[in-house]
Amino acid sequence: MKVLFELRHDKQDKAGTVPVYVSAYFDGLRLRCSTKERCEPRQWNERDQEFRRSFAGYHSANEGLKALERRLEDRYRDLRADNVAPTVALLREVVNPAAVVVPEEPTLLARFAAFREVLVGRGYAFHTLRHYKTAYNHLTAFLEKTRRKGLLLAGYTPAVHDDFVRYLRTTCGLSANGAYTMLKDLKTFLRHAQDERGLTLGLELTRLEVRYTEQAKAYLTGADLAALVAVSLPKTLEPARDVFLFCCYTGLRYSDVAALHAGNVHGLGVDGTGERVLRLVQTKTRATVSIYLSRLAAQILDRYAGPERAHAGARLLPVLANQPMNRYLKKIGQLAGLTRLVEVVSTAGGQVVKQAVPLHELVTMHTARHTFAVQSLLRGMPVTVLQRVMGHAKIQNTMRYAQVVEELQHQAMRAAWDGPSGLDAGPAPEEAVCTVMAA
Which tens digits make up the pLDDT trace of 72-89?
A: 999 999 999 999 999 999
Cα–Cα distance for residue pair 357/344, rounded to 1 Å: 7
Q: How many CA atoms lie within 13 A of 149 on its CB side?
A: 6
Return the C-alpha torsion angle 155, 197, 181, 212, nearest 10.
-100
Distance CA 276, CA 281 (A): 17
Whether the Cβ atoms of residue 26 and residue 72 lie closer than 8 Å to each other? no
Residue 427: pLDDT band with limits 50, 70, 90? very low
The single-letter DSSP state of residue 248 is H
Candidates 169, 168, 172; CA nearest to 349 is: 169
Phi, psi (5° rounding) for residue 341? -80, 140
Architecture of domain 108-207 in this structure: Orthogonal Bundle (1.10)
pLDDT category at 29 given cuts 50, 70, 90 is: very high
Helix (H) or strand (E) holding 5, with range, is strand 2-7
* pTM > 0.75: yes or no: no
Q: Are the C-beta atoms of residues 136 and 143 closer than 8 Å to each other?
A: no
Higher pLDDT, 175 or 10: 10
Angstrom distance (rounded) from CA 342 to CA 113: 41
Q: Using CA atoms, how far apart are residues 369 and 366, in angstroms rounded to an integer?
A: 5
**What span, in angstroms and rounded, lies between the C-alpha atoms of 246 and 339?**
22
Are the CB atoms for 401 and 375 separated by under 8 Å? no
Residues 389 and 289: beta-carbon distance below 8 Å = yes
What tens digit of pLDDT does each residue of 328-379 get? 999 999 999 999 998 877 666 556 778 888 999 999 999 999 999 888 888 8
Q: What is the pLDDT of residue 432?
A: 37
SS3 342: strand
pLDDT the model gives residue 382: 85
Which helix (H) or strand (E) segment is 95 a member of? helix 88-95
Mean pLDDT of 284-308: 87
Neighbours of 181 (CB within 10 A): 18
| 218 neighbors 367 (Cβ within 8 angstroms) | yes
Is the confidence at residue 71, as pLDDT, over 80? yes
Kindly tell me the burial class for residue 430, based on how many C-beta atoms sit within 10 Å of its own C-beta (0-12, 13-18, 19 or more): exposed
Split at pLDDT 50, 70, 90, the class of 435 is very low
**pLDDT, average across residues 203-223:** 79
187 Cβ partners below 8 Å, 6+ apart?
205, 208, 210
Instruction: Report d(CA 400, CA 134) in Å as an integer.
Output: 27
Least-confidence region, from 5-9, 90-94, 231-235, 431-435: 431-435
Phi, psi of 44 (to 5 degrees): -120, 135
Residue 422 DSSP label:
S
Among residues 74, 112, 106, 105, the alpha carbon closest in space to that of 90 is found at 74
> Is the distance from CB of 329 to CB of 240 less than 8 angstroms?
yes
Rg, C-alpha atoms of the chain? 39
State residue 381's pLDDT score: 85
For the sheet with 265-267, list strands across it. Answer: 265-267, 276-281, 288-292
Q: Are 357 and 341 within 8 A, CB to CB?
A: yes
pLDDT tens sequence across 179-209: 888 999 999 999 999 999 999 999 998 877 7
Where does 272-321 have alpha helices with state H?
295-303
**Minimal CA–CA distance to 337: which of 192, 247, 220?**
220
Domain assignments of the chain as residue spans, ordered by start: 2-95, 108-207, 227-404, 406-439
| DSSP tag of 437 | H
Which residue blocks in 269-351 are alpha helix, DSSP H?
Answer: 295-303, 322-335
For the domain covering 227-404, report its CATH number: 1.10.443.10
Residue 438 has pLDDT above 70, yes or no: no
- C-alpha span between 227 and 222 (Å, rounded): 9
Residue 317 near residue 242 (C-beta atoms within 8 A): yes
pLDDT tens per residue, range 250-261: 999 998 999 999
Instruction: Tell me which residue of 110, 208, 185 sits closest to 151, measured CA to CA.
Output: 110
Residue 213 clears pLDDT 80, i.e. is over it: no
**More confident of the two residues 17 and 285:** 17
Q: Which residues of 125-155 are buried (b: 16+ CB within 10 A; e: fewer)?
A: eeeeeeebeebbebbeebbeeeebeebbbee
**Does the pLDDT value for residue 405 go beyond 70?**
no
Can you give the pLDDT at residue 348? 60
Q: Express each pLDDT in 109-164 by its tens digit.
A: 999 999 999 999 998 877 788 889 999 999 999 999 999 989 999 999 999 999 99
* Span 301-318, average pLDDT: 79
- Give me the pLDDT at residue 137, please: 95
CB atoms within 10 A of CB 223: 10
What Å distances lie between residue 138 and 170, 179, 279, 426, CA to CA?
A: 13, 10, 37, 64
